[in-house]
Amino acid sequence: MHVTNHSINAIMRIIFLAFFLLWGVQAIAAAVEVKNFDTPEQERVYNSLISELRCLVCQNQTIADSNADLAKDLRARVYKMLQQGKSRQEIVDFMTQRYGDFVLYNPPMKAKTSLLWLAPLLFLVIGLLVAWSVVRKKRLATHSESAHDSAQSEEIRRLLEQGDDR
């Protein structure tokens, strides 16, 4: 028993170690690109922009996370546009003009994207309705059950009393 505990501990330790080591690798990979910024504000905008734009080749990554060629090119383009004094909105417009709203991880609310935005609300409402109907059914069931109980116990009491009489 003691031995198994030990080996489980050892396995857990290895898993955690591997996890943190790999995490470190990813952080290093992302940090390789060195860019110089004129102002800290510019750097902040750059970092927030590249983590908001989708890499279209590897669709579940932002261009900040991805090392795909296109992601590198788009990062370079964002950087260049910032250096040219372009605003955040101008860069977002530049990207959506070329790649559509899909390039944004935070798509704007439009007729086309309304389902995307409203679906969570819709599911919440459905969930609440289901919960409400389940609770109501349960409550009705307990009510009739207790009514049934009292009628039954009344009957038992009567029978017991009759028994006493005999």
Partner 1 sequence: MLKFLTPLLIFAVLAIFLAIGLNLNPREIPSPFIDKPAPPFTLQTLEDPSRTLSTADLNGQIWLLNVWASWCVSCRAEHPVLNRLAEQKLAVIIGLNYKDEPEAAKNWLARLGNPYDVSVLDMEGLTGIDWGVYGVPETFVIDKQGVVRYKHTGPVTDKDIETIFLPLLNALQAE
Give phi and psi for 53, each to the nearest 5: -100, 135
Check residue 73 for interaction with partner 1 (CB under 8 A). yes
Q: Is 61 helix (H, G, I), strand (E, B) or coil?
A: coil
Beta carbon of residue 53, minimum distance to partner 1 (angstroms, whole number):
12
Can you give 85-119 as a three-state secondary structure string? CCCHHHHHHHHHHHHCHHHECCCCCCCCCHHHHHH
Q: In whole angstroms, how close is the CB of 84 to partner 1 at the nearest point?
A: 14
∠ CA(43), CA(47), CA(108), 5° rounding? 125
92 binds partner 1 (CB under 8 A): no
Name residues contacting partner 1, limited to 102-141 (CB under 8 A): 102
Stretch binding partner 1 (CB under 8 A), from 13-21, 27-35, 65-73, 158-166 = 65-73
Binding of partner 1 at residue 56 (CB under 8 A)? yes
> Distance of alpha carbon 52 from its chain centroid, rounded?
15
The only residue of 74, 81, 82, 91 in contact with partner 1, by rule CB under 8 A: 74
Q: Which helix (H) or strand (E) holds 71?
A: helix 69-83
Tell me how far, at minimum, the Cβ of 46 lies from partner 1, in Å.
17
Q: Judged by CB under 8 A, does residue 91 bind partner 1?
A: no
* Backbone torsions φ then ψ of 54, nearest 5 degrees: -85, 140
Q: CB of 142: closest distance to partner 1 in angstroms?
A: 19
Give the footprint of partner 1 on this chain (CB under 8 A): 56-57, 59, 69-70, 73-74, 77, 96-100, 102
